[in-house]
């Protein structure tokens, strides 16, 4: 292979037909995991063999809200916290579409928390990918509903004193048909989880732990994105079908505690159809 030359746009990535490639490189920070999740989503569309015209991508507000702008399927960048009601309307009106919500923890679980529990309760046929970076990254690193106890943020310089949400436990309790948690390093596993969600009829929830080197990593001395991903690699242990979802809290201060990942729930439950 010849040495790559700067300013060379002659090489085209094989998945570029499912991306709005003219907008790349995207605005996300170096080391941010949202790009990997978008990449995995378009790869799942490619591998599923379905027509991209049958896919809809809905995103909320925040860094992960940019996802809808980069994928070359029908996509909607909705208002803050309202990605789920918007997607619910699409899924209920046209059940033949595969609707995927790619959004962040601040959008889905804070302002959109009520929509989340009721979409899961109704078991609407949606695939929800929640990119969890433990804070409000775009607005400057404020503490959110998933910030672990003791983790620092702009609004908690001494460390957060609140109990965070345990997202897989919450999704299971609300009645989701499929619940998984992976990190961006488990890219093959969460691509498979997205593929399973696309096949499955009902509310499918995948939490993806993603590094946020600019906001969360910097304040918590986690280093660059690579260092945070390396921390996940050392601490994650895979437990598919784990029973004790209440024990899945993430401790970001004590690096001896394991982070449990896997496909936890895969049940048959009647989906909501109008």
Residues near other proteins, by CB under 8 A: 1, 3-9, 11, 13-16, 19, 21, 24-26, 28-36, 39-40, 43, 184-185, 187-188, 191, 224-226, 229-230
Of 138, 259, 253, which is closest to residue 209 (Cα–Cα)?
259
What is the smallest separation between the CB atom of 175 and other proteins, expressed in angstroms? Answer: 32
Q: Kindly write down the DSSP assignment for every residue of 198-257, as one continuous string.
A: HHSSS-EEEEEE---IIIIIHHTT--SHHHHHHHHHHHEEE-TT-S-GGG----SS-TTS
Instruction: Compare residues 55 and 186 and give the one whose CB is closer to other proteins.
Output: 186
For residues 265 and 172, the answer to whether their CB atoms sit within 8 Å is yes
Instruction: Compare residues 36 and 263 and give the one whose CB is closer to other proteins.
Output: 36
What is the smallest separation between the CB atom of 196 and other proteins, expressed in angstroms? Answer: 17
- SS3 for 122-172 is HCECCEEEEEECCEECCCCCEECCCCCCCCCECCECCCCCCCCCCHHHHHH
Instruction: Compare residues 224 and 251 and give the one whose CB is closer to other proteins.
Output: 224
Instruction: Compare residues 35 and 145 and give the one whose CB is closer to other proteins.
Output: 35
Instruction: Compare residues 226 and 253 and give the one whose CB is closer to other proteins.
Output: 226
DSSP 18: G
Q: Is omega for the bond preceding 120 within 30 degrees of 0, making it cis?
A: no
- Taking the CA of residue 151 as centre, how many other CA atoms within 13 Å lie in the half-sphere pointing to its CB? 26
Instruction: Compare residues 40 and 91 and give the one whose CB is closer to other proteins.
Output: 40
What is the smallest separation between the CB atom of 15 and other proteins, expressed in angstroms? Answer: 7
What is the smallest separation between the CB atom of 105 and other proteins, expressed in angstroms? Answer: 18
What is the smallest separation between the CB atom of 243 and other proteins, expressed in angstroms? Answer: 30
Indicate the SS3 state at residue 196.
helix
Q: How far apart are CA 97 and CA 117, in angstroms?
A: 22
What is the smallest separation between the CB atom of 46 and other proteins, expressed in angstroms? Answer: 12
């Amino acid at each position: 292979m010849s040495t790559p030359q700067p300013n060379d746009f002659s090489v085209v990535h094989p998945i570029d037909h499912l991306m709005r490639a003219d907008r790349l490189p995207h605005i996300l920070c170096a080391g941010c995991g949202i790009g990997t999740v978008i990449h995995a989503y378009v790869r799942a569309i490619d591998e599923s063999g379905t027509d991209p015209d049958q896919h809809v991508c809905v995103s909320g507000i925040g860094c992960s809200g940019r996802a809808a702008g980069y994928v070359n399927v029908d996509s909607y960048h909705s208002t803050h916290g309202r990605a789920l009601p918007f997607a619910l309307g699409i899924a209920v009106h046209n059940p033949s579409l595969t609707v995927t919500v790619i959004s962040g923890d601040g959008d889905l679980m804070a302002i959109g928390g009520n929509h989340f529990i009721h979409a899961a309760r109704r078991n609407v046929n949606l695939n929800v990918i929640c990119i969890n970076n433990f804070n409000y990254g775009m607005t400057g690193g404020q503490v959110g509903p998933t910030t672990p106890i003791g983790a620092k943020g702009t609004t908690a310089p001494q460390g957060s004193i609140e109990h965070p949400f345990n997202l897989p436990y919450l999704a299971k309790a609300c009645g989701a048909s499929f619940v998984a948690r992976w990190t961006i390093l488990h890219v093959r596993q969460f691509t498979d989880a997205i593929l399973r969600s696309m096949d499955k009829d009902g509310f499918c929830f995948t939490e993806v732990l993603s590094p946020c080197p600019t906001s969360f990593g910097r304040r918590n001395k986690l280093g660059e994105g690579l260092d945070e991903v390396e921390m996940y690699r050392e601490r994650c242990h895979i437990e598919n079908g784990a029973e004790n979802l209440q024990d899945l809290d993430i401790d970001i201060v004590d690096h001896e505690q394991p982070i449990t990942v896997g496909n936890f729930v895969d049940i048959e439950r009647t989906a909501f159809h109008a």
